[in-house]
Structure 1
Amino acid sequence: MSFHQLRDFLATLQLNNNKEWMDLHRKEYYDVRDFYIEWLEAMNDKLAAIDPNYFDTPGKKAINRINNNLMFHPTKPIYKDHFGAGLDQQSKEGDFYIEIGLNGAYIGGGYWHPSSKKLKSIREAIDYNGDDFFKILNKKSFKKMFGDMIEGVVLKTAPRGYAQDHKHIELLRRKSFAVSCSFSEKEVANSNFDDRVIEVYKEMLPFRRYLNKAVSV
């Protein structure tokens, strides 16, 4: 089994995105899913070996469902066009997210539209020590790998309790704090893909740890 076969399965699934087809190809689905879980298990061990504070996340816990949530997104197809998972996962937020899909891989981390309580905690951390977060975001290697944080909803003015001329007002106005990078299908198939994932993990780690510490205080 390989990522190429995983991609082929997903491509065929998107042409037959219905429960009837999935029921007929359930064994093929489980074969591909098990391959991804095994890869996650191996990556889980590799990341734990380099990060003493890594939160052990077995593959079966890490992997997400392939079904879309039709209750909140009724117009979406039944099945996703990717396999997604969250490693270093103490909670569903703030984990190290890895998605393998039709166009390669997508890796992300941080907090996308966190709850008002968590957003409040992140803003308090930035207010108290935003300089450290600013340094993380502007580190040359970090910028090269991720660019800027993913665009999201931004307040037009300062959030309640903060001055408009706060030195980190651009950060405080944000409602999401997440970064990502992508790999092509060819890069995913390369023998050094695991090493590339580890590089991304290391570079993203200070960013994730800052945010996770903020919401856990």
Structure 2
Amino acid sequence: MHLPDLRAFLSELSENNQRAWMAMNKPRYDILRKEFLELTSALIDWLKHIDPAIANTNPAKAIFRINRDIRFSHDKSPYKTTFSASVVPDGRKKPSEGGGPAYYFQFNAQGILLFAVGEYMPPTHRLKQIRDQLISDGDGFLMAINKAEFRSHFPEMLSEGQLVKVPRTYPADHSMGEWLKYKNFIAVNEIQYVGMTAPEVVDRLLTAFRCAQPLIQWLRSSHQRTCKFT
């Protein structure tokens, strides 16, 4: 993938986020999208050796559409200014539907590659499963996220939307109380992709995603293990 061309396209799109501009630049977009699909395919081909669960993921279904859903938004800009993908076992593009942890990455117009692993804003039933797992196997979660290698690639867990208090269905004084307040269970990082080649990007993502396997597996195990506190 020609990353300088991608950044130039996204930068121009940011300044000209209109359907007329996109129509004139559709050939550029088509080439870049094809290249992004090839990069995503290459990533999945390597990643499936680390995580066989995603072996049958369709790369085309992993890629997000560039069109924005503006029906309920004050911002009527028709296009996203990122190229992004979410790799999950069943190929769904929205891990928020409760399908379990995802491998996510996106390129933006500022030359930033954001990559993440975990679950972003899981629905209520899924969030309960994760919180129950924190009660029954909090040590496993802490071991997964506190390893030095993991932290070197994912320095923070996203705390967006964190609750002020422990949910009332769980012991307020539990040792995992701070984590029970979380509404996201996703680790994130950002790096500059300026100057990188597509193979270097794939290698960087694979290295990071390999280190995140303990967290991925811990989150998947929470599908099976639940407990109830009243």
Superposed CA RMSD = 1.9
For the 8 Å contact 2:150–2:208, the answer to whether it is kept is no
In 2, Cα distance between equivalents of 1:129 and 1:11? 45
String of CA shifts for 1:100-156, please: whole Å, max 9, x gaps: 222231111212221110111101111111110011111111122212311212222
TM-score normalised over the length of structure 2: 0.87
For the 8 Å contact 1:66–1:80, the answer to whether it is kept is yes
183-192 or 151-160, which moves further after superposition? 183-192
176-185 or 71-80, which moves further after superposition? 71-80
Aligned pairs for 1:170-189 (under 5 A) are 170-186=178-194, 188-189=196-197
Asked if residue 156 in structure 1 is aligned to residue 164 in structure 2, the reply is yes
Asked if residue 100 in structure 1 is aligned to residue 117 in structure 2, the reply is no
For the 8 Å contact 2:105–2:116, the answer to whether it is kept is yes
Corresponding residue number in structure 1 for 2:218: 210
Percent identity for Structure 1 against Structure 2 = 29
For the 8 Å contact 2:54–2:87, the answer to whether it is kept is no
For the 8 Å contact 1:4–1:189, the answer to whether it is kept is no
Q: Give the letter aligned to residue 193 of structure 2.
A: E
CA-CA distance at 1:189 after TM superposition: 3.2
- Structure 1 141/190 Cα, relative in aligned 2: closer, same or farther at 3 Å? same
Listed as ranges, the gaps of 5+ residues in structure 2 are 96-100, 226-230
For the 8 Å contact 2:160–2:183, the answer to whether it is kept is yes
TM-score normalised over the length of structure 1: 0.91
Aligned pairs for 1:60-75 (under 5 A) are 60-75=60-75
Q: Give the letter aligned to residue 104 of structure 2.
A: Y
In 1, Cα distance between equivalents of 2:185 and 2:199? 31
Aligned pairs for 1:134-153 (under 5 A) are 134-153=142-161
For the 8 Å contact 1:40–1:58, the answer to whether it is kept is no
For the 8 Å contact 2:193–2:201, the answer to whether it is kept is no
For the 8 Å contact 2:44–2:55, the answer to whether it is kept is no
Listed as ranges, the gaps of 5+ residues in structure 1 are none
